[in-house]
Structure formats: C-alpha cells, structure tokens
C-alpha cells in the first residue's frame, strides 16, 4: 500500500487522526465492503494520495470493523470523507464525490505554493535582508494571483525600505472589500512618509524652531520629520501644540497628520490611547 495511505484502528487512531493532522492534512475515508459508492470513490482517493506525494495522508476507516471510531465521528451514511486539520475535523463530504470536489477540499487545507516564499521572506526580514525579502514577497504576490493580504505585506516592507511610491501603487490596487485595519494603518504610514519626504532634516528644523519658537510652519515640518524617524511622542506633542494654537492649521493638515500617527500606532497602543484622550479633550 502507498506509504501515504493507512488503515485506521483503535490502536493507531490517536497517532494518525490527531497527531499526524498537526503536521499535514489527514483525509479520513469512512467506507464498507457492501457500499457500492465507496468502491467508486476509493480508486480516486488512492490516485490522489499517490499524486500529492505525501502532502496529505489518506486514512481509511472500515465502518463495519471500526464501529466505535465511526460512532465518535457521528457518521450517518457511507461513503463519508472527513478532513482532519490540527487535530480537529474541519470539513466533510458525503456520498461518492467527483475528483474535482475532492481536489477542492484538499487544496483548501494544503500549503499553498507561495507559503514557503512568505516564510523565507519573514526569515530574511528578521535577518535584516530586506532586499532578499522583497524578491520573495514579490514572487509570492504574483504566484498567489496578487492576494490582498500578501500585497499589504509587500507594501509594509516597501515602507520599511522608504519606497513610498512603490507602496502607494500597491495600496491603490487593494480592493475596497479588503481595506481592513492593517490597510488603514499602512495608508497612514504612507501619508506620513510622503509628508516627511518634503521636510528638511531634524537638526536643521530644531535649530530653526529654537530661533523662532512660535513659527507653526517649522513646528509642523519638524513634527512630520520626527514621525518619519519613529519619534512619535515628540511628533504628537508638537502637533498638539499647533492644534492648541490653530485647530485648522494648514487647512486641517496638522490634525490629519496627528490622526494618521495614531492610526499608524494602532488601536490599543498606550501612546495612541494617551494622545487620543488629549485630542478628544481639545476638540470637545
């Protein structure tokens, strides 16, 4: 028998149905000798087990011989296919299924071709190899048919590399239905970086502000530059001072940058909570 096909008994059920399904998907086939549809389905399953070369385990349960296991799964008709993933039954198909339906079930739980690239990209980011990670993420993005979640990962990396224009193109292509909280945070980071690209360096701005402490334009540019260099508290404090003087400074631009910083920090961040309270007290 194929090494990726096993006959399940009470003695090996824990090993194959629970432990093994934490390593790879396990497709459990409940069948019986008297079941004609089972005999139609079996060759299809065995063919797929050979074709997928160990990507999943086919676990065969003879419902007549293994009545306790069959009862535990609540099987009411044969054949029944149950997908085990991470020790739990996660999906099932009843009756003789066409090959296409079984492939669809398998593909839902099997690792995708681009998953390895995503892991490689994360490893390279952790090691500081951003250029290498960029190549892997671009490939994963293409292989996945430009999935939105991978597109946002790619945009996040581009922002880390100060490639705001490239990140903007990616974010612009994210469909409305996928514009979640992460998308909003990335958009806020993008806008901050685009603002920072227009600003002089921090030391020059600090010197100018020290010489002219009431100049709101210099304070605004310095706040943007602070945020670009991850000095978010300093940026928020400067912007708050501007808003206390002129709530609509730069046609509301200062307030927008302030809120962008809070969005980029994310909900629940202690700094964001502190400065949300301060802006609320100012506005209301």
Query: Residues 227, 171: one domain?
Result: no
CB 68 within 8 A of CB 9: no
171 & 206 share domain:
no
Lowest mean pLDDT among 56-65, 195-204, 213-222, 225-234: 195-204
pTM for the model: 0.53
CATH assignment at residue 160: 1.25.40.10
234, 268 Cβ separation under 8 angstroms: no
Parent domain of 60: 5-109
Q: Which of 77, 109, 141 is the last residue of a domain?
A: 109
Number of domains in the chain: 3
Q: Is the same domain home to 103 and 125?
A: no
Residue 217: C-alpha distances to residues 41, 221, 230, 235, 260 (Å): 74, 6, 20, 14, 18
Note the pLDDT tens digit of each residue in 116-169: 899 899 999 999 888 889 989 999 999 999 999 999 999 999 998 878 878 999
Provide the annotated active-site residues. Answer: 35, 38
Task: Answer yes or no: do 38 and 102 share one domain.
Answer: yes
Name the strands in the sheet holding 88-94, side by side, starting at the edge strand that comes first in the sequence: 5-7, 57-62, 26-31, 80-85, 88-94
| Dihedral, CA of residue 153, residue 157, residue 163 and residue 167, to nearest 10 | 10
Contact indicator for 102, 44 with CB cutoff of 8 Å: yes
User: Would you say residue 1 has pLDDT above 60?
Assistant: no
Provide DSSP, 165-222.
HHHHHHHHTS-GGG--HHHHHHHHHHHHHHHHTTS--HHHHHHHHHHSTT-HHHHHHH
């Amino acid at each position: 028998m194929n090494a990726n096909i096993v006959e399940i008994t009470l003695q090996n059920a824990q090993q194959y149905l629970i432990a093994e399904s934490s390593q790879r998907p396990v497709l459990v086939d409940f069948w019986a000798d008297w079941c004609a549809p089972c005999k139609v389905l079996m060759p299809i399953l065995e063919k797929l087990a050979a074709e997928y070369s160990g990507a999943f385990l086919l676990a065969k349960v003879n419902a007549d011989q293994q009545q306790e296991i069959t009862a535990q799964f609540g099987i009411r008709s044969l054949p029944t296919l149950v997908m085990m993933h991470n020790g739990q039954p996660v999906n099932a198909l009843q009756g003789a299924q066409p090959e296409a339906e079984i492939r669809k079930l398998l593909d839902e739980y099997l690792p995708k071709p681009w998953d390895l690239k995503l892991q490689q990209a994360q490893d390279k980011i952790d090691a500081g190899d951003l250029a290498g990670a960029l190549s892997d993420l671009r490939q994963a993005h293409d292989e996945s048919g430009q999935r939105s979640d991978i597109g946002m990962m790619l945009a996040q990396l581009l922002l880390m590399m100060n490639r705001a224009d490239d990140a903007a193109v990616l974010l612009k292509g994210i469909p409305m239905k996928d514009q979640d909280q992460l998308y909003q945070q990335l958009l806020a980071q993008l806008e901050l970086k685009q603002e920072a690209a227009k600003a002089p360096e921090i030391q020059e701005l600090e010197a100018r502000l020290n010489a002219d402490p009431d100049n709101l334009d210099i304070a605004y540019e310095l706040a943007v530059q602070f945020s670009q260099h991850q000095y978010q508290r300093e940026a928020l404090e400067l912007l708050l001072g501007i808003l206390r003087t002129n709530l609509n400074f730069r046609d509301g631009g200062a307030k927008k940058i302030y809120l962008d910083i809070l969005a980029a920090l994310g909900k629940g961040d202690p700094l964001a909570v502190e400065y949300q309270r301060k802006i609320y007290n100012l506005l209301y």
